[in-house]
Every structure is written in structure tokens, then in C-alpha cells.
Structure 1
Amino acid sequence: MRIEISRWKHVFKLDPDKELADEALERICESGTDAVIVGGSTGVTFDNTVDLLARIRRYELPCVLEVSDLEAIVPGFDLYLIPIVLNASDPDWIVGKHMEAIREYGPMMHWEQVAAEGYVILNGASAAARLTGARTELDVRDVTAYARLSERMFHFPIFYVEYSGVFGDMELVRRVAAVLERSRLFYGGGIDGAERAIEAARAAHTIVVGNIVYEDLERALATVRAVREAESADGGA
């Protein structure tokens, strides 16, 4: 399957460490979302990742692994996203763990299936921020500088603004999107229904919907319809 992230407007992110009924998974995979990303900050193992992959593979949509743990790298995904947490205080999340992965798996990696994400975490209370020691007290100039660093110096295809559990500053997101010319701006955090999905989709290139899947499935599914309708109303932009 050819993966074109440049076309993604909406993706669901599913956590292998959280329970999801088969019926709910079917509705997610047949919702019209552009892809499913599998990943999480804690509790991700090889076993729960391969189990979720097998369940998603019943459906015809791109299935992507966002790698957060070397022990949970599972073959068979369409694409592997590698987060480079640019505002991490722990260098392991910038280059250390990545070097370890390449040392272990480099000879067998299919590099055309690997995409790096320049990641900036902005919710200091989140598990992701605590895990990486992220410096989250950043202003617009800081984040746009990281965006330019990610795109212009490192040539990452994705720049990911992650608020992880809370709805972020959409003016900041819009201003970050404005400085990117080739990279895709992903936004994640606090998208809990149609209204916020539309607001985020008009600020970022791609929105990532996660936690609400496990809290209110109907509201999660409504985000897909909302983004599609907004896209049509905006002329497919």
C-alpha cells in the first residue's frame, strides 16, 4: 500500500495498552478516517501492539506504528513514524534511542517505510512530557523555530505539535503551519468532538484524534464527518 501522508486530514491514534471492543474498532476503521496510528507513551509492548495490528489488518486503510519502545517494534505496518522530541531535556528522546534502534535493526530496515517526526510536546502535565523531560514553557517564536529546524535543517516530512490530552492554542498552531512549506503539520491534543475537530483542522494540516475514542466513541466518529464537511465547505483545501 502506497502511503501519502500529504493527503491525510484526519487520523485516529489507538493505544495498544487500552481496551477497545471489536465493534468499536470496526466503526473506527470504516469511519472514513485517512489512517490509524498505533502508539502510546506507556504500557506499549510487542504483544499488545501485534494484537492490535492483527485486528486493524481486517480493514483496508493505512496502519502506521509510531515507535515509542524498541521492544514493541512489530513488522507488518505500512509505515513507521519515528518521533524526534525536539524539546526533550533527555537526549535519549532526540537521538539516543534512535541510535540504539538502528544499531539493532539497521541492516533489516526498509527505509522507504520510515518517516521521522519533529515532535514538540506542549502539555507539561502529560505522560509524554514527563517521560521525555520536555521543556513545555514555549511561546510562538520558540515553536516556529523548532518547526523551521525540523523542516529546513533536518528535512523531516512531519512536524508534530502535541498537547496530549488538552486542547491547545490554535493561533499558535496556525502560525506554525504558516512557516512550513514542505513538512506536514500534525496536531494532537484535546480533540473531543466535531467543533474542536473543525477548529484544529483549519489550523493544522492533519489532526490526530486519540483519547476521545475511549471516552465517547460517537463523539470520536463525529470528528471524521466534521473534518470532511469542513474540507468540502472550504473547497478541499
Structure 2
Amino acid sequence: MIEIGGWRHVFKLDPDKHLTDDELEAICESGTDAVIVGGTQGITYDNTLELMARLRRYAVPAVLEVSNLQAVVPGFDAYFLPLVLNAGDPDWIFAPHVAGLSAYGAYIRWEEIFAEGYIILNEDSAAAKVTKARPVASREEAKAYANVAAHVCRLPIVYVEYSGRYGDPDMVRACRAGAGEARLFYGGGIRSAEQAQEMASIADTIVVGNVIYEDLSAALATVEAVRRLQG
């Protein structure tokens, strides 16, 4: 069974974006705690399978974040199931999970499944538009959403998602205050070692994604930045 409790830094790879073999090796051998495979658009069974097969060459834990039932590929170490807590379209809260369990429930190993309570805070992101995410107007409201995830739904992960934009540290602190014993993940707009350290000082786990495809050296530097924070 995979353990997420010690994860401080993870990379998130998009199956719809290309990495050379050398780039993928650098990511997997960087010292990151895990690699999450996921995205909002262009995710297919074929491109997910191809990326998973390439990741299996390395020892780093590989996790599939399920956003498309047609792209669920066996062979990952674990599967993250996002529940978008502030979705304006209720189908993004539980309906996909009911559909997935109806189709694949007999094959699921529950010890490999981790539900994430997503709080989408970038209203302009693709994820916000797809889910029709409701704006979160204040730190008090952000904390309340984290409370719902951790204490009402008792989810193991609260995921603060800024999706391409660097977030407001005070909003992330509010979510940290509401998350209780749940693990707080932060993702969005981390493009430097300094930003990685700032968010890692608040959240339990930071997720570094888009910068991989813009400036790989900067992405790799975030791993060492988080290590220095731990030291």
C-alpha cells in the first residue's frame, strides 16, 4: 500500500504534453516523492497508458488522478479521485464516482484509492470552467470548505488548486487551518524555488506541474528547495 503521509513534493505530468526520455528521467530521478498523472483536457486512455508505461521504468511512485473514466489505466501505484467541493455543476462532486463504481467497482482495490477534496480558487482556469466552480470569496469560506472536506466528508486529502496561477498564501493558510488531520496539497503556478518554499511552509505537499513544460531546470530546482526547507 502506498503511503502519502511523508510526501512533501510531487510532480504532476499531463499525458497530453510531451516529454523526451531524458526529461522524464530527470523528473523521476530528481528526488521528488511521487509523480501524479492527470490533467483537465486531452486526456485519453492511449496517452495515459503510454506515459504510465514510461514511468514504470523508474522507482518513483506513480499515481493516476482520475478525471476521465475512459482514461482509467491499470498499473498505477494508487488512484486519486477528485471531488470538487465548490463545483457549480453537481455532477463534478459525486456523479462521476457513481458512474465509475458502477462500471469498475468489482475491480477496485480500495487500499489504492485516495479521495481528494478539491477547492478550485482560480476562477479563470480550465478546471474552474469545466466544473463551473463557485468563487470562494474569503479566507473564512476557504477554511469552511476545508472543514467540509476533512471533518464532514473525512477525506484524506484537501487539495487547494490554483491551476496555473500562483495562489494567495493567506487563502492557503486558511485551508490549512480547516484541514485538520487531512493532508493539505497545494497546486498552482509554482515556477521558482522561492515559491516552492513559501507554499511548502504552509501546505503538507506541493504539486509542481506547468513549469515542467516551460522551464525544466526551474522545475527541478523546486525539489531541492523543499529539501532545504525540511533540513
Sort the TM-score into its range (normalised by shorter chain): over 0.9
Provide the identity percentage: 57
**1:93-112 equivalent positions in 2, closer than 5 A:** 93-112=92-111
Instruction: Provide Cα deviations, 1:23-58, integer angstroms capped at 9, x if missing partner.
Output: 000000000000000000000000000000000110
Letter in 2 for 1:158: I
Alignment of 1:1-237 (within 5 A): 2-232=1-231
What stretches of structure 2 of length at least 5 have no aligned partner? none
Unaligned runs of 5+ in 1: 233-237
Q: Distance in 1 between matches of 2:133 and 2:61?
A: 30
CA RMSD of aligned residues (A): 0.8
User: Partners in 1 of 2:174 and 2:139 — Cα distance?
Assistant: 8
SS at match of 1:36: strand
> What SS class does the counterpart of residue 58 from structure 2 fall into?
coil
Distance 2:57 2:147 in 1: 39
SS in 2 for 1:150: helix
Q: Could you state the TM-score of these two structures normalised by the residue count of structure 1?
A: 0.96
Q: Distance in 2 between matches of 1:117 and 1:62?
A: 18
Hey, what's the Cα distance between the residues in 2 that align with 1:146 and 1:76?
32
Structure 1 residue 153, shift from structure 2 partner: 1.1
Do the aligned residues in 2 keep the contact of 1:14 with 1:37 (CA within 8 Å)? Answer: yes
1:171, CA displacement in angstroms?
Answer: 1.5
Counterpart residue type for residue 185 of structure 1: L
TM-score (norm 2): 0.98
- Aligned amino acid, residue 6 of structure 2: R
Deviation at 1:178, TM superposition (A): 2.4
TM-fit CA distance, 1:230: 1.1
**Secondary structure in 2 matching 1:7:** coil
Q: Does the 8 A contact of 2:160 with 2:185 survive in 1?
A: yes
1:141 CA displacement: 1.0
For 2:179 and 2:128, the matched residues in 1 are separated by 24
Taking the aligned partners of 1:21 and 1:106, their CA distance within structure 2 comes to 35
Using the alignment, how far apart are the partners of 1:136 and 1:193 within structure 2?
27
SS of the equivalent of 1:5 reads coil
Report the alpha carbon displacement of residue 181 of structure 1 after superposing the two structures with TM: 2.5
User: Is the CA contact (8 Å cut-off) linking 2:160 and 2:175 kept in structure 1?
Assistant: no
CA deviation vs aligned residue, 1:160-201 (integer Å, no higher than 9, x gap): 000001110111212221233210000000100101000010
- Paired with 2:6 and 2:136, the residues of 1 have a C-alpha distance of 31
Q: For 1:177, what is the secondary structure of its paired residue?
A: helix
Q: Take 2:118 and 2:104, find their aligned partners in 1: how far apart are those partners?
A: 22
The whole-number CA distance in structure 2 between the counterparts of 1:146 and 1:77 is: 29
One-letter code of the match for 1:195?
A: E
The number of residue pairs the alignment matches comes to 231
Contact (CA 8 Å) 1:122, 1:138: kept in 2 or not?
no
Query: For 1:32 and 1:99, how far apart are their aligned partners in 2?
Result: 36
CA distance, structure 1, for counterparts of residue 113 and residue 202 of structure 2: 26
1:51-76: CA deviation from partner (whole Å, max 9, x where unpaired): 00000110001100000000000000
Q: Which runs of 4+ in 1 moved over 6 A?
A: none
Tell me, yes or no, if the aligned pair for 2:144 and 2:178 is still in contact at 8 Å.
no
